[in-house]
Chain A
């Protein structure tokens, strides 16, 4: 009998967490570094304009990855996670939420970790979108205007922390009760 190496549900989970979420996390890290490292004062030159263009598209791509991860997580992975097991079933492995809640030592993985993951990523996506918009509209000013740069940096930093936080929680949940 052939056995699938990865189920469709687990592939979606990997896409959500590692490809989309992981890609967004990398983008945020690069954006955070770039916002500081590529700052300039005075009139922008050709180099600054080019750097601002690259940074803008990086932040736009990062926001897109983040939204993709959020939507895939909410509408694909989360339903698979929270599916209710039939009455009387003994093996709860196909039902991650029920499995986690059945053991007192792992119940917090739902009551805290997954509950936090339901909403926090949406806030991160809003922040990333705001910064992406500012990059598109202001371009080189994002690097040349000190105040604008500082504000964008703060928001990207908050976004990075939030995404790191929920990513870690996701790793913990998937380690104990993977969506298969």
Chain B
């Protein structure tokens, strides 16, 4: 049973998809945090005053990324997941996240 589990772990794509989707979640989270900050709805506290609020925003986004990755990895590491759908979601998160961090977009909110 242990060898079957190891074999399955070796060929399943779950761990890879977890990593990719987590990156999408992290990017999306950062974009949302930036928009919340720019609209005055939520400002993550600065962790290092000389650098300002960016330290809080990025640390919060990094925490969401890592926690999301840990959860996804735990659930998917021994599984074969639907790669196309998951990767599409990852790209969506990355794309939206990038766009939301760009200043011209802030004016829309």
Contacts and interface: CB of A to CB of B under 8 A. Distances in A.
Given A75-B55, A123-B97, A138-B16, A130 B23 contact: yes
Interface in A53-82: 74-75, 78-79, 82
A36 interface: no
Contacts of B57: 119
A23 to B, nearest CB: 21
A15 interface: no
Determine the main DSSP class of B at the interface with A: helix
Given A112-B103, A134-B16, A155-B23, A119 B83 contact: no
Contacts of A122: 30, 58, 61-62
A155 B20 contact: yes
Chain A interface size, as a band, is: 20 to 34
Interface residues of B, number: 32
Contact of B54 (A118, A126, A129, A137): A118
Given A74-B51, A78-B54, A147-B83, A123 B94 contact: yes
B103 A115 contact: yes
Given A75-B55, A154-B91, A158-B94, A126 B104 contact: no
B19 A151 contact: no
Interface of A: 74-75, 78-79, 82-83, 111-112, 115-116, 118-120, 122-123, 126-127, 129-131, 133-134, 137-138, 145, 147-148, 151, 154-155, 158, 162
Contacts of A138: 15-16
Given A130-B20, A133-B19, A151-B20, A119 B50 contact: no
Nearest to B95: A158
6 contacts: A82-B52, A119-B30, A120-B101, A120-B102, A126-B22, A147-B13
B109 interface: no
Given A75-B48, A78-B51, A82-B52, A130 B22 contact: yes
A111 B83 CA distance: 38
Given A74-B51, A147-B83, A116 B102 contact: yes
Contacts of A155: 20, 23
B102 A123 contact: no
B40 to A, nearest CB: 16
Interface string B34-72: 100000000000001011101101100110010000000
